[in-house]
C-alpha cells in the first residue's frame, strides 16, 4: 500500500530516470615523494550536471577515498564511504 502511494505521487516524491554520465577521467596517481610533489587534495570529476565524483589524492591519504556529490533541485547530498582527512 505504501509503495503504491509513493509511486502514485501522493507524497510529492518525484521518480527520476537515470541520466547517462561520462567517466572519461584520469585519476591522479600518487607520488614517490609526496613531501616534494605538488598536488591538490581533491580531484573533482563532473559525471553529469548534477553528479560529481571527488577523489582524495593518494598523497593526502593512502586509500585515495572517493566522495559523491549529488545535487538536487533544492538540496545536495555529499556521501563518502570512508572519512576524508586533509591536513
Burial readout 15-49 (b: 16 or more C-beta within 10 A, e: otherwise): eeeeeeeeeeeeebeeeeeeeeeeeeeebebebee
Task: Give the residue with greater pLDDT, 47 vs 7.
Answer: 47
Predicted confidence (pLDDT) per residue in 13-37, tens digit: 555 677 788 989 998 888 889 888 8
Overall pTM surpassing 0.75 (yes/no) = no
Q: Average of pLDDT values for 10-15?
A: 53
Domain range summary for the chain, segments of one domain joined by +: 38-87
What pLDDT does residue 1 have? 44
Amino acid at each position: 500500500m505504501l509503495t503504491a502511494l509513493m509511486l502514485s505521487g501522493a507524497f510529492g516524491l518525484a521518480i527520476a530516470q537515470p541520466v547517462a554520465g561520462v567517466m572519461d577521467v584520469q585519476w591522479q596517481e600518487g607520488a614517490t615523494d609526496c613531501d616534494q610533489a605538488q598536488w591538490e587534495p581533491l580531484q573533482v570529476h563532473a559525471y553529469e550536471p548534477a553528479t560529481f565524483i571527488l577523489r582524495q589524492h593518494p598523497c593526502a591519504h593512502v586509500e585515495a577515498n572517493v566522495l559523491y556529490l549529488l545535487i538536487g533541485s533544492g538540496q545536495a547530498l555529499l556521501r563518502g564511504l570512508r572519512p576524508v582527512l586533509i591536513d
